[in-house]
A and B are shown apart, each in its own frame.
Chain A
């Protein structure tokens, strides 16, 4: 027959439970006990380095920035599912516009930065890629981002522009598509595969290329290159919307623009 647990056993069980709960509680609470403003920022993966280097803003406003980076589309899905973000910084205007159309945005969509695209290859360039047209050469391994990651639509425009240039090989865009071996979750994951040498090339943002010391870039003619527009919104899921608006205003202002410029970003087109 089973018996109810004896008092000492129940006591130990209860004490353990209290201890575990206390430990968990303090671990969860440490992020919020400082009295500083806590700003939760959902940002495109390509912004990771630039946002990690915003000490001046953090110290001037006594703000702790909690950063979540991924593909802008993944982040948008998370916000649609109710994730609390005080600011959403996307690598395009489409994702913030979609949120705005769904009534999930507080205020305006603010374009705050731009960046050109770049073709990166591992520093050693094992495939000997010399021009953008080599991306369509048979046997080259190219990593791309998923079809709905913002970089992919910019990259498609770039490829179509390249295909119209004199000297472009026939079927350039199809040749590129045939060389894609993986659709990574976001642009940083694609960059990492090139840094590791597992892929021969990838199309990324110029700001990503500038941030990496393990890759080099293949020149793209100015007439073919594409400028990506980054746009920010304060989602209605924000816990500290005022802090979100203040941060986006700072990013779009002279200090924020200077901080972004250090990481290869340009003003919004």
Chain B
């Protein structure tokens, strides 16, 4: 009985510790009454539309280049594939400020590639493009990992059967692999989006902070705190919390859908 009590209270302490700050934030947001006005303030609205536009662009890039990478990692064994996997996983554990500094050293005006880009009249820092690059850098691993696992989980014999029936490689990919891996791809995409939306450290270092141009929602939280406007900071934070909760619910539903699929298939 006591053992059980200790176990439950120890488990409860961390659960409460994790829940309390977010619950308090939402409580403040609702209790202040000014939430709607604060969400509708120009700074928050501009940041919201910038966040939606940049994360959409980031997701397109991540799917476009992440799917082939996930396919190669899932289906091809080659010398150095372990190294590639490590490189893909690295941004997951790297502090975002390190990512921002590293991006600056590559794409900055005096960076490795920045000088060459500058010659073509392209400067990346302080632009929405820098926001997108920062998001892709930190968020792509979530999609690539999920997609790799999803593609690896597609039974080979189903593909072979499709080939035996005369399907082309592109047909196998489109009609067998993608539909079967779809829940995993979707879950990875949603997690990737959430990470892009929440991206802060790399963005503020690499893209700077300019309302309407590079100031995304997480930057509003920080900037408004710096200008002593707690209400606007709480409003922007609330939008981010709601988006994050939405993402987790979506991922759970996608997983449940997948479990049902497998059960009915089996």
Residues of A within 8 A of B (CB): 4-5, 10, 17, 70-71, 73-74, 76-77, 80, 126, 141, 143, 146-149, 180-186, 193, 196-199
Q: In the complex, are the beta carbons of A141 and B126 less than 8 A apart?
A: yes
Q: Is the CB of B223 within 8 A of A146?
A: yes
Q: Is the CB of B228 within 8 A of A198?
A: no
A146/B226 in contact, CB under 8 A: yes
Assess A196 versus B104: contact at CB under 8 Å? Given A4-B7, A141-B126, A184-B209: yes
Contacts A4-B7, A5-B7 given; indicate if A146 touches B227 (C-beta within 8 A): yes
Q: Known contacts being A10-B3, A183-B209, is A148 close to B108, with CB within 8 Å?
A: no
Is A5 in contact with B3, judged by CB distance below 8 angstroms?
yes
Chain B's closest residue to A143 (CB) is B208
Are B108 and A196 within 8 A (Cβ)?
yes
Categorize the interface residue count of chain B.
20 to 34
Knowing that A73-B228, A148-B226 touch, tell me 15 more A-B residue pairs with CB under 8 angstroms: A5-B7, A73-B226, A73-B227, A77-B226, A77-B230, A143-B208, A146-B223, A148-B228, A182-B208, A184-B209, A185-B222, A185-B223, A198-B104, A198-B108, A198-B110
What B residues does A148 contact at CB under 8 A?
226-228
Q: Which residues of chain B are near A77, meaning CB under 8 Å? A: 225-226, 228, 230
Do A180 and B230 contact each other (CB < 8 Å), given the known contacts A198-B108, A198-B125?
Answer: no
Chain B residues near A146 (CB-CB < 8 A) = 209, 223, 226-227
CB pair A71 B226 closer than 8 Å: yes
Which residues of chain B have C-beta atoms less than 8 A from A17's C-beta? Answer: 10
Residue of A nearest to B228 (CB): A77
Q: What total count of A-B pairs have CB within 8 Å?
A: 74
Please list 5 pairs of residues, one from A and one from B, whose beta carbons are closer than 8 Å in the complex, sorted by A's number.
A4-B4, A17-B10, A180-B210, A184-B209, A198-B125
- Which residue of chain B has its CB nearest to the CB of A70? B226
Chain A proximity of B122: nearest CB distance (Å): 14
Q: Which residues of B contact A4 (CB under 8 A)?
A: 3-4, 7
Find out whether the CB atom of A182 lies under 8 angstroms from the CB atom of B228: no
In the complex, what distance in Å separates the CA atom of A269 from the CA atom of B230?
33
Is residue B38 contacting chain A, with contact meaning CB distance below 8 A? no
In-complex Cβ contact of B208 among A5, A74, A181 (8 A) = A181
Tell me whether B110 and A193 are in contact (CB under 8 A): no
Q: How far is the CB of B223 from chain A (nearest CB, A)?
A: 6
Q: Which of B125, B213, B215, B225 contacts A74 (CB 8 A)?
A: B225
Nearest Cβ on chain A to B219's Cβ, whole angstroms: 9
Question: What's the Cα separation between A148 and B230 when bound, in Å?
Answer: 13
Complex CA–CA separation, A73 to B110 (angstroms): 32
CA distance A174 to B225 in the complex (A): 27
What distance in Å separates the Cβ of B255 from its nearest Cβ neighbour in chain A? 22
Verify if B238 is at the interface (C-beta below 8 Å from A).
no
Q: Mark B1-35, 1 if CB is under 8 A from A, else 0.
A: 00110110010000000000000000000000000
Let me know if B58 is at the binding interface, CB within 8 A: no
Shortest Cβ distance from B225 into A: residue: A77
Q: Are the CB atoms of A198 and B126 closer together than 8 Å?
A: yes
What is the CA–CA distance of A143 and B123 in the complex, to the nearest angstrom?
A: 15
Interface check B109, CB cutoff 8 A: yes
Determine the chain B residues whose CB is within 8 A of the CB of A71 once the complex forms.
226
Taking CB as reference atom, which chain A residue is nearest B4? Answer: A4
For residue B55, CB closer than 8 A to chain A, the reply is no
Q: What's the minimum C-beta distance from B201 to chain A, rounded to whole angstroms?
A: 12
Instruction: Give the docked Cα–Cα distance between A186 and B223 (Å).
Output: 10
Closest chain B CB from A193 CB (angstroms): 7
Query: What is the CA–CA distance of A200 and B2 in the complex, to the nearest angstrom?
Result: 67
Say if the beta carbon of B214 comes within 8 Å of chain A: yes
Q: Looking across the interface, which residue of chain B has its beta carbon closest to that of A145?
A: B226
B211 at the interface (CB under 8 A from A): yes
CA distance A245 to B204 in the complex (A): 36
B126's partner among A80, A126, A182 (CB-CB below 8 A) is: A182
Chain B, Cβ-Cβ closest to A190: B208
| Cβ contact within 8 Å between B226 and A149 | yes
- Contact mask for chain B residues 197-227; partner A; CB cutoff 8 A; 1 contact, 0 none: 0000000100111110111000000110111
A182 to B7, CA, bound (A): 50
| Those of B103-130 within 8 Å (CB) of chain A | 104, 108-110, 123, 125-126
Looking at A141, A149, A182, the one whose CB has the most chain B CB atoms below 10 A away is A182
Chain A residue with the shortest CB-CB distance to B213: A181
Nearest CB in chain A: distance from B226 CB, A: 4
Closest CB of chain B to A86's CB: distance in Å?
Answer: 21
Q: Knowing A74-B225, A148-B228 are in contact, say whether A183-B204 is a contact too (CB < 8 A).
A: no
Closest 9 CB pairs of A and B: A182-B208, A148-B227, A181-B126, A74-B226, A197-B110, A77-B228, A198-B125, A182-B210, A183-B209
